[in-house]
Structure 1
Amino acid sequence: MMKVHILEQTQRLAIPLDAAWAFFSSPRNLDEITPPELGFRIESCRSDTMHEGQIITYKVMAFPGIWLPWVTEIKAVEEGRSFIDEQRSGPYAFWHHRHTFEEIEGGVEMTDLVHYALPFWPVGELAHGLLVRPKLERIFSFRRKSLGERFGEIG
């Protein structure tokens, strides 16, 4: 049995759509919006330009001194509007992350929609409430704050 969880976050940034797309579609910018305690490191990324089928390998620190490899694939790209990354191997049993961008007055509305599931059911479900969900919420909160400081927020 696998329970799929959902995390969704929308943020309105005071940045033109083309500038937002340029920033978010470059995998190399991920470390700038990831909390330092994750020790996020890109191990392999052959292109600075995101494209369907692109494989990106990372290492993240799950706990102090415990590094986990993470491999994602860019599954779909709709230039200037959305892209999807999916985990091929890593800490989750399932990870599907859709990033969407919509031009609004004064900037762009950016939405992250993540569907994810944990391995080792039912133990993974216990860890979800105690560790995983709070950690994901901290990561996305950090991201929200750093993006707001970098680009400014609308409303």
Structure 2
Amino acid sequence: MPIFEKRTRIAAPPEKVFAFHEEPDALERLTPPWEQARVVEKTGGIQVGARVVVEVRVGPVPLRWVAEHTQYEAGRMFQDTQRSGPFKRWVHTHRVDPDGAGGSYLTDHVEYELPFGALGRLGGSHFVQRKLERMFDYRHEVTRRACEEAPRP
């Protein structure tokens, strides 16, 4: 099963980085502007049992992506699992760990499986990896900027 992982050091304490992900508009802020994605439903934040429904496009085809939060450790990690959507399987773990110098490491770990078996892997693996790299580069940069900027008076 393919795995994608992105890790970034952020010069902000782990509590601040985790709190950013708990903000009500975090998902919208983390969605790259070039993605054709629209949040249509959210319930419960990021704690276990919370749910989000996003309308995405795979080429010209609109799909609903339903994700449920399946693990939560306050200040440290949360996980969402696709219940239905474009992947055969998708489990996304978000971790925030102290770096030992007052900052933190943000790690997004995604285990996924493409639909259509070998055909899906052959036709989509490279495309999906590139798309994930671009998307998580954007997400980590948005998070870094939001968490490192000085608080407004």
Of 40, 49, 52, 1:53 maps to 49
Distance in 2 separating the partners of 1:129 and 1:9: 17
Of 64, 68, 78, 2:63 maps to 68
Of 96, 99, 108, 1:101 maps to 96
Amino acid at match of 2:90: W
Distance in 2 separating the partners of 1:100 and 1:72: 17
For residue 34 of structure 2, give the secondary structure of its aligned residue in structure 1.
Answer: helix
Distance in 1 separating the partners of 2:66 and 2:135: 18
Q: How big is the alpha-carbon RMSD for the aligned residues of Structure 1 and Structure 2?
A: 1.9
Q: Deviations over 1:25-84 (max 9, x none)?
A: 34631221221121222111133x322111111112333x43221000100101111111
Contact kept? 2:10, 2:103, Cα under 8 Å: yes
Are the structure 2 counterparts of residues 134 and 27 from structure 1 closer, same or farther at C-alpha, using a change threshold of 3 Å?
Answer: farther
User: Scaled by the length of structure 1, what TM-score is found?
Assistant: 0.85
Contact kept? 1:31, 1:40, Cα under 8 Å: no
Query: Percent of aligned pairs with the same residue?
Result: 34
- Detail structure 1 runs of 4+ shifted over 6 Å in the superposition: none
Equivalent position of 2:151 in the other structure: none
Q: Deviations over 1:106-146 (max 9, x none)?
A: 31111111100001112211222342221112111222333
Equivalent position of 2:38 in the other structure: 41
Alignment of 1:143 onto 2:139: yes
Matches within 5 A, 1:78-89: 78-89=73-84
In the alignment, structure 1 segments of 5+ residues that lack a partner are: none
Distance in 2 separating the partners of 1:27 and 1:41: 15
In the alignment, structure 2 segments of 5+ residues that lack a partner are: 149-153
Are the structure 2 counterparts of residues 27 and 88 from structure 1 closer, same or farther at C-alpha, using a change threshold of 3 Å?
Answer: farther
For residue 43 of structure 2, give the secondary structure of its aligned residue in structure 1.
Answer: coil
Distance in 1 separating the partners of 2:143 and 2:50: 24
User: Scaled by the length of structure 2, what TM-score is found?
Assistant: 0.86
Post-superposition shift, 1:8?
A: 0.8
Alignment of 1:12 onto 2:21: no
